[in-house]
Amino acid sequence: MSERPVADRPTDQLAGQLGTMAPHRAVLRAVEGDLMWPVLERADPAAPVLDIGCGDGHFASIAYGAPIDVGIDVRRVELLEAARRGPEVYRNVVLASATVLPFADGAFGTVLSNCALEHIEDNEAVLAELARVLRPGGTFATTLPSEHFAELLLGSTLLRAVHLPRAAARYGRFFNRISFHHHVYDHAEWERRLAAVGLVVVEHHQYFSPRAHRAFDAAHYASVPHLVSRKLTGRWVPHPSLVRPYHRWLRRHATEPLQQPLGAYQFVRCVKAST
């Protein structure tokens, strides 16, 4: 199988993400870039690649060194931003719901979805559609919150440490709610749901260690200046000088081993069964 060109992919994913993104998102996206990029590298250049939930294209512009054939999203404003990044990021962008994909059966050889499926309420429809547009033998890869997402947050951890388990549980539920997580399942449940649409899991592991996830939670509060900057100027980074201290703080979390015995997130790679 041919490889896609990856020469322009940044070696320091965290620095690239921090330059244009709030710190809590940057550290997680840096890890996910290292997880998802090999899937794209192995994709057959002759078989189109679909990205479900491409957003404004920021993640793809940093994480990948080769363009993706098609990105879809339901948010028009963000999709327009993805289009403005040019064909070196997405050759085509389509305004569409992942529950009703406007593509023919077997149209794609690879389907990617980076932390998007958990935000879509009709999970069964999304899985059925992505399996439909994936050719037999094709690859589907996704990142998702794990069943440990809520319990590993810094707030939940601290509340349990002072013997407030109910408050810890409420904090976790609150965070899942504001993160718009409709589906937070363990590996067995995802494997069952994927198998129901003909997708066979060939790789699964958790990532983002408890320590990294606690830093991720703390970074939300440290990101307040970035949120204010976003509201006032449209830019996430108030001043370039802020990047360096965040990079020093978060670097060890962004470069930890991608496979963790206990992680707040999970990576899943599937192959569509041949018929």
Which residues, at least 6 apart from 192, have a Cβ–Cβ distance to it below 8 Å?
none
Beta strands in 96-209 (DSSP E): 108-114, 134-145, 199-207
- Residue 8: what pLDDT? 59
- Residue 84: what pLDDT? 94
Which tens digits make up the pLDDT trace of 198-215?
999 999 999 999 999 999
- Cα-Cα-Cα-Cα dihedral sign, residues 190, 191, 196, 197: positive
- Residue 10: what pLDDT? 62
| Residues 11-32, mean pLDDT to the nearest whole number | 90
- Domains of the chain (ranges, CATH numbers): 13-146+183-272 (3.40.50.150)
3-state secondary structure of 272: strand
Which tens digits make up the pLDDT trace of 118-166?
999 999 999 999 999 999 999 999 999 999 999 999 999 999 999 999 9
Helices 23-42 and 243-254, axial angle in degrees (round to 10): 50
Which tens digits make up the pLDDT trace of 53-110?
999 999 999 888 789 999 999 999 999 999 999 999 999 999 999 999 999 999 999 9
Contact 149, 115 (CB under 8 A): no
pTM surpassing 0.95? no
Which tens digits make up the pLDDT trace of 236-256?
888 888 899 999 999 999 999
